[in-house]
Amino acid sequence: MKKLFLKTYDKLLLVLMGAFPFFTGCDEPNVEYGSPYADFNLSGLVIDSISSSPLPGIQVTVKSWKGTTLLVTETKTNGYYSFVFQDFPDYEKVFSINVEDLDGILNGGEFASEKADIKVIQSEYEIDGENNTNFWYSGVVYKRKDFRMNLK
């Protein structure tokens, strides 16, 4: 009886341990102590395409190349937005920025959503204001993307 219990227990334990790696994976790697990373500063201005006036309250979303949402914010009263975050450096990294008018006519009209990709390549990473060729700590990247939104 004891032998049958141990065989059953061993098989159950083996199945659970075999499935364990599938339940611990992450969609996006997290920056951890001792691993390569870079600081990303993405910013821009959102304006009305007709009047060139700034659009406050526009939702701005940054997504990874996999489509995973990284950060969400709203434009300030002057139409500016900014994101500061850390992520793994790659030779080439693409972020998608989506701007969407969620408040309707409160900011002067209903505006159509816009989307743009921001591409970062290794030579754009800076350490102390100089271009970096070392891949371990890639430093800081500054990217700006402005949007001119059209009425629906």
- Number of separate domains in the chain: 1
Is 135 inside a domain boundary?
Answer: yes
- Is the pTM above the cut of 0.75? no
77-116 pLDDT, tens digit each: 999 999 999 888 877 889 999 999 988 777 778 999 999 9
Q: Which of 3-12, 23-32, 33-42, 66-75 has the highest mean pLDDT?
A: 66-75
In a domain, 112, yes or no: yes
The band of 65, judged by pLDDT with boundaries at 50, 70 and 90, is: confident
Tell me, yes or no, whether 74 lies in a domain.
yes
- Residue 18 belongs to some domain of the structure: no
Parent domain of 129: 37-149
What digits encode the pLDDT tens for the residues 21-47? 555 555 555 556 667 788 899 999 999
In Å, how far are 2, 7, 43, 105, 118 from 144, measured between CA atoms? Answer: 68, 61, 5, 27, 9
Residue 32 covered by a domain = no
Label residue 96 left, alpha or beta by phi (over 0 means left) and psi (-120 to 50 means alpha). Answer: beta
User: What's the CATH number where 128 sits?
Assistant: 2.60.40.10
H helices present in 25-133, as ranges: none
